[in-house]
């Protein structure tokens, strides 16, 4: 064990894949050192496999995601990979993909490195998928859970496919999130295994009984054989069935975690911390006291949901669909406008220039409600711009107002006074959209009545690694 003391953390996000190598700090059992980290863009968006999904369908090519994962591992130090004693995996919650048992991948040699290539797999239908409209969701059975079901949730997507593309489902006999798939392929699992964190994100899962709503689902004709087995987060799903890059065969792999919970695990040092993650979407998270149990009646109109964390505790989560993706839409709009005017400019150039302009514009009266994608509790809400005056039309004004609007929208979902009542004393900021946007940081500090500090962009990957690191340390102590 002394020779293999490093844990690898992987995060399969919506727009990027990240990996981090973590080791316990010498002389400090609660500390850790990030030895190396890497991030690669996924660039996985693709057309929906079912034509009936229409423009609301949001899917990703699993092969591109795995390619980005392998690019990350190839960039990590080989001398550290061979010391890896545990692998933690997290990823984008709610989404669902399908594969054929025993045919989900093929192990090959990429140069000198053994890797797995997806084979009999579907696309990943992501959390951003909008094919399940209000009427369709209203037709579904009521969950026996404290969590509502929304479009983009795994079970809602399967219900939609059952109604609109039943032949598609007959092609597969296993399902999971993208990170459940990776764990299953690494370990050669004959049946997918899922943590309660990801099960809850699919819907129709009761966190008190730790079980799927099997009777309700069977009565509705749901293909329950596709539901993975469920275990506690932090448990080992299996061991690597093959050498993977320089990581030895037989290395422990943890059951896949939600990226939200993994991010929080890496950031939240005290229960009095709240975590604000702004990446593609936005989450504001506070830890609920031990013994807290959410009311077992789902409320689709509630802006705050309670997601399982570790050791049967819960996180209070205000999860906005509108975050870094809205800034990306704004950049894309500007680039498109300029293209229509006969000018070509890179999106990266536009992004940096607009942040510079907003940084020089310290305040604005312009008000932007940035809910382009609606919200799960307000699916029909659209974005708006108000208080427009001739003096507030510069790029700096608009960008400043957009960043402020993202933060204010979150405030409307979970008032910061509520955080104070829960005993929050500090906010930890994390996520790629926040880490590289100084204006967004300024608006966060302006809005929150607490000190704000910042984590790393690879927080979910680090968190996944830390869960496995802590498990290994506990085993050594035992």
Give the residue-averaged pLDDT of 137-164: 96
Q: Dump strand ranges (E) for 179-251.
A: 193-195, 205-206, 211-212, 229-231, 236-239
pLDDT 10s digits, 185-229: 999 999 999 999 999 999 999 999 999 999 999 999 999 999 999
Which residues, listed in sequence order, are joined to residue 115 by a DSSP beta bridge?
A: 108
Could you give the 3-state DSSP secondary structure of residue 23?
strand
pLDDT 10s digits, 270-323: 899 999 989 889 999 999 988 999 988 888 889 999 999 999 999 999 999 999
pLDDT 10s digits, 453-472: 987 665 899 999 999 998 87
Distance between CA atoms of residues 443 and 355, nearest Å: 13
Contacts of 40 (CB under 8 A, 6+ apart): 16, 17, 18, 68, 69, 71, 72, 75
Q: Classify the C-alpha dihedral 128-134-140-145 as positive or negative.
A: positive
Quick one: tokens of 436?
A: 């590289």
Give the residue-averaged pLDDT of 441-448: 95
Which residue in 160, 163, 162, 157 sits closest to 176, CA to CA? Answer: 157
Kindly report the length of the chain.
Answer: 478
DSSP assignment of 55-92 equals GG--EE-HHHHHHHHHHHHHHS-HHHHTTEEEEEEEE-
Distance between CA atoms of residues 18 and 10, nearest Å: 6
Which pLDDT score, from 0 to 100, does residue 4 have? 66
Place of tokens 């053994």: 114
- The pair phi, psi for residue 366, each rounded to 5°, is -65, 140
Distance between CA atoms of residues 411 and 415, nearest Å: 5
Which pLDDT score, from 0 to 100, does residue 2 have? 43
Q: Which helix (H) or strand (E) holds 261?
A: helix 259-267
Q: 375 with 321: CB under 8 angstroms?
A: yes
Give the residue-averaged pLDDT of 336-346: 97
b/e for 234-266, b at 16 or more Cβ within 10 A?
A: bebbbbbbbebbbbbeebbbbbbbbbbbbbbbb
Which pLDDT score, from 0 to 100, does residue 476 have? 64
Contacts of 392 (CB under 8 A, 6+ apart): 364, 365, 366, 398, 401
Place of tokens 């079901």: 149
Which residues, listed in sequence order, are joined to residue 459 by a DSSP beta bridge?
A: none
- Enter the pTM of the model: 0.88
Distance between CA atoms of residues 437 and 359, nearest Å: 10
Distance between CA atoms of residues 317 and 338, nearest Å: 38
Give the mean pLDDT of the chain.
93
Distance between CA atoms of residues 275 and 285, nearest Å: 5
Distance between CA atoms of residues 287 and 242, nearest Å: 38
Categorize the per-residue pLDDT at 49 as very low, low, confident or very high, splitting at 50, 70 and 90: confident
pLDDT 10s digits, 379-435: 889 999 999 999 999 999 999 999 999 999 999 999 989 999 999 999 999 888 998
Which pLDDT score, from 0 to 100, does residue 457 have? 61
Distance between CA atoms of residues 288 and 92, nearest Å: 22
Q: List C-alpha distances in Å: 59 to 39, 101, 123.
A: 21, 21, 6
Quick one: tokens of 377?
A: 């509790």
pLDDT 10s digits, 110-130: 777 899 999 999 999 999 999
Quick one: tokens of 38?
A: 């890497």
The DSSP letter of residue 53 is: G
Give the residue-averaged pLDDT of 59-87: 96
Distance between CA atoms of residues 152 and 82, nearest Å: 38
């Amino acid at each position: 064990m002394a020779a293999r003391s490093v844990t690898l953390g992987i995060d399969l996000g919506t727009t990027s894949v990240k990996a981090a190598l973590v080791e316990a700090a010498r002389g400090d059992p609660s500390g850790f050192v990030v030895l190396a980290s890497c991030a690669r863009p996924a660039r996985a968006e693709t057309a929906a496999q079912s034509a009936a999904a229409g423009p609301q369908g949001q899917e990703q090519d699993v092969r591109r995601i795995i390619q980005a994962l392998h690019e990350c591992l190839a960039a990590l130090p080989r001398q550290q990979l061979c010391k890896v004693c545990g692998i933690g995996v997290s990823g984008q919650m709610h989404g669902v993909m399908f594969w054929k048992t025993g045919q989900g991948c093929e192990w090959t040699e990429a140069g000198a490195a053994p890797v797995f290539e997806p084979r009999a797999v579907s696309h990943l239908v992501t959390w951003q998928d909008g094919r399940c409209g209000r009427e369709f969701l209203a037709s579904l059975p009521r969950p026996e859970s404290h969590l509502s079901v929304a479009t983009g949730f795994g079970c809602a997507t399967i219900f939609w496919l059952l109604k609109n593309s039943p032949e598609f489902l007959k092609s597969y006999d296993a399902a999971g999130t993208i990170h459940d798939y990776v764990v299953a392929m690494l370990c050669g699992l004959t049946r997918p295994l899922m943590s309660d964190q990801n099960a809850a994100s699919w819907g129709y899962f009761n966190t008190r009984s730790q079980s799927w709503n099997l009777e309700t689902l069977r009565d509705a004709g749901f293909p329950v054989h596709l539901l993975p087995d469920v275990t506690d987060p932090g448990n080992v799903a299996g061991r690597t069935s093959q050498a993977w890059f320089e990581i030895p065969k037989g290395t422990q792999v943890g059951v896949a975690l939600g990226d939200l919970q993994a991010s929080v695990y890496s950031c939240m040092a005290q229960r009095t911390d709240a975590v604000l993650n702004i990446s593609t979407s936005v989450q504001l998270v506070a830890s609920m006291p031990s013994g807290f149990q959410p009311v077992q009646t789902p409320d689709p109109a509630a802006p705050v949901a309670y997601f399982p964390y570790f050791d049967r505790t819960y996180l209070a989560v205000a999860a906005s669909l509108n975050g870094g993706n809205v800034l990306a839409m704004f950049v894309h709009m500007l680039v498109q406008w300029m293209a229509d005017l006969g000018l070509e400019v890179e999106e990266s150039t536009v992004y940096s220039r607009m942040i510079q302009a907003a940084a020089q514009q310290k305040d604005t009266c312009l008000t932007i409600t940035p809910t382009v994608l609606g919200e799960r509790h307000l699916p029909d809400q659209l974005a708006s711009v108000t208080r427009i005056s001739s003096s507030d039309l510069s790029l700096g004004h608009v960008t400043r107002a957009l960043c402020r609007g993202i933060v204010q929208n979150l405030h409307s979902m979970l008032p910061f006074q509520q955080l104070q009542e829960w005993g929050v004393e500090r906010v930890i900021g994390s996520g790629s959209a926040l880490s590289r946007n100084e204006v967004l940081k300024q608006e966060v500090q302006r809005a929150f009545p607490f000190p704000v500090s910042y984590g790393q962009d690879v927080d979910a990957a680090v968190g996944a690694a830390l869960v496995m690191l802590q498990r290994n340390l506990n085993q050594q102590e035992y």
